Amino acid sequence: MNNADKIYNLAVSGVQKLIPYTPGKPIEELERELGLSNTTAMDGGSVAIGREPMRLIKLASNENPLGPGKKALAATQATLKDLALYPDGNGFNLKLALADKYAVDMSQITLGNGSNEILELVARAFLTPGLEVVFSQHAFAVYPIVTQAVGATAVVAPALNYGHDLNAMLQRVTDKTRLVFIANPNNPTGTLLSHADLEAFIGALPDTCVCVLDEAYCEFAGDGSADNSIAWLKKYPNLLITRTFSKAYGLAGLRIGYGLSSPQMADILNRVRQPFNNNMLALAAAEAALMDTEHLQNTIAVNAQGMQFITEGFKNLGLEWIPSAGNFVLADLKQPAMPIYEALLRKGVIVRPVGVYELPNHLRITIGTQAENQLFLQALTEVLSGNV
């Protein structure tokens, strides 16, 4: 071990063994790798050097293919002139808008730098080494990371048909379990739990265990989850619901999400967050986005059509997939997915391998615009027919 490497021994033990989250490949990175230039992320234009122009598309991070809404963009632009000032550290206006929309008290809301930050805050506020965290196999990759970073022990319950097995999870809850994470719909599998099953599970947890219900995709679920779960907050002071503006609202680049909980839980999270964790542009854009029901409805409609189109394409190719309640779908290739992923990259299509989720034969595809979905299916057809 060289001298500089010794610093690793000083990191807390969870961090020493931590494998960082791998994000979807950015379009610009693929451009560099393919020797292309002149593309910007959302316009999809691209100029090849010494070869045919090729359009690059990213269907890898469950971003909104329509981009941000007009209202959010206008609010962002109008805020630029104030950038020399600190943002409102309490996020008053956004909390007011959220409280109004979901009929909760402002004291029940925690704003985060993406809902990922809320997941991190809850881990820091409630976990220490020796305590356990229960989540499902194939659940969101951030749960093991935030658990390990604070030295707590992850207890993984086997999945049932790719989704959460709530009984298996409950069986693993002991008096050492301080936290459970549930994503509904789940990423990357897209599976959805029924309200009745979910509420029975939350109700069966001991009150010494915090339940994090991650609803990053609830707007797409079409089962009323976006409203239903809010009612449980009155009954369960140990419940924390997390939501985001990154997916259906099209603001992933600004980093803004929120938690809904009892005021007491929000108070605890507020103690560990940075004073100005939400930037000014994000606060303004999110507030405007919340009012832009047209953009949200459009997004949901385009997703539903695209889901239909892509799964129809899978069927024509003889592929199986996991029915999804999100804005993405997992295709079962019945063969190692990495070579297919790489062949798609060479055709300018970025999707998401899910080997880290113990799904080495699947690829996760974010539903795009109709044009993107067509390009993807065409590329996949060529790749699977050996024309690579």
Ligand X SMILES: *Cc1c(COP(=O)(O)O)cnc(C)c1O
- Our finding on whether 114 is near ligand X (CB under 6 A) is yes
User: Which among 17-25, 196-204, 246-254, 260-268 is the span making contact with ligand X, rule CB under 6 A?
Assistant: 246-254
User: Which among 19-27, 48-56, 111-119, 355-363 is the span making contact with ligand X, rule CB under 6 A?
Assistant: 111-119
Q: Which is nearer to ligand X, 45 or 222 (CB)?
A: 222
Pick from 61, 73, 58, 69: nearest CA to 369: 58
Q: How far is the CB of 385 from ligand X (least distance, A)?
A: 32
User: Which among 4-12, 108-116, 285-293, 349-357 is the span making contact with ligand X, rule CB under 6 A?
Assistant: 108-116
Q: Are 353 and 245 in contact (CB under 8 A)?
A: no
- Our finding on whether 187 is near ligand X (CB under 6 A) is yes
Q: Which of residues 280-299 bind ligand X (CB under 6 A)?
A: none
- Our finding on whether 252 is near ligand X (CB under 6 A) is yes
The answer for residues whose C-beta is within 8 angstroms of residue 68's C-beta and 6 or more apart is 76, 249, 250, 251, 285, 289
- Our finding on whether 257 is near ligand X (CB under 6 A) is yes
User: Which among 50-58, 219-227, 240-248, 275-283 is the span making contact with ligand X, rule CB under 6 A?
Assistant: 240-248
Q: How far is the CB of 328 from ligand X (least distance, A)?
A: 9
Q: Which of residues 115-174 bind ligand X (CB under 6 A)?
A: 115-116, 140
Q: Which two structure tokens, joined as six digits, stand for 297?
A: 């409805």
Residue of closest CB approach to ligand X: 114
User: Which among 6-14, 33-41, 109-117, 378-386 is the span making contact with ligand X, rule CB under 6 A?
Assistant: 109-117
Residues 200-218 as b or e (16 or more Cβ within 10 Å = b): ebbeebeeebbbbbbbbbb
- Our finding on whether 246 is near ligand X (CB under 6 A) is yes
- Our finding on whether 244 is near ligand X (CB under 6 A) is yes
**Which of 104, 183, 331, 349 touches ligand X by CB under 6 A?**
183
Binding pattern for the stretch 45-64 against ligand X, x by CB under 6 A and - elsewhere: -----------------x--
Q: How far is the CB of 244 from ligand X (least distance, A)?
A: 3
Q: Which is nearer to ligand X, 14 or 188 (CB)?
A: 188
Q: Which two structure tokens, joined as six digits, stand for 6?
A: 């010794």
- Our finding on whether 327 is near ligand X (CB under 6 A) is no
- Our finding on whether 219 is near ligand X (CB under 6 A) is no
Q: How far is the CB of 142 from ligand X (least distance, A)?
A: 7
Residues lying near ligand X in the complex (CB under 6 A): 62, 114-116, 140, 183, 187, 214, 216, 244, 246-247, 252, 257
